[in-house]
Amino acid sequence: MYYYNSPMGLLKLCADEDSLLGVWFNEDKIYGSVEHIDSPAANKHIADTVRWLDEYFRGNTPSFTPELKLHGSEFRKIVSRIMLEIPCGELCTYSEIASEAARRLGKERMSAQAVGGAVGANEFSIIVPCHRVVGKDGKLTGYAGGMEKKIYLLHHEGVDFKKHNLR
């Protein structure tokens, strides 16, 4: 576990030897039993994540995604993969993700509410960009780090709130 000092406060980064396990604002969330490290250089996946976050907070779109260990059911993993495809500064709705998840799973339809549960269970704050997911009417919905962090991230990415009728 490594603490990254972001413009939004401390982020907790957890990794093992194979991949990144999570990035959280919430101090209560810990994936498994992990040791605290003082330097990101002690773990390749932490080092990659720090490099990614540094690029992102400098206002650039990182050219890579750290190696992630996606958690949960196949549905949750598919929702995470779909979120990873949302370009920086753009938005997607729960219903759009539900349609794409249904297509990938070979189903006729999927519930936007089920997608909401999967989005809410995201273990990789900022990197898997659940902050880019909004209600179909432009309504900003919850964010694990708090609504002020979601708004900060969307502004940081240059999202035009008026154009998207966000509220």
Residues classed as catalytic: 130
3-state secondary structure labels for all residues of the chain = CEEEEECCEEEEEEECCCCEEEEECCCCCCCCCCCCCCCHHHCHHHHHHHHHHHHHHCCCCCCCCCCECCCCCHHHHHHHHHHHCCCCCCCEEHHHHHHHHHHHHCCCCCCHHHHHHHHHCCCECCCCCHHHEECCCCCCCCCCCCHHHHHHHHHHCCCCCCCCCCC
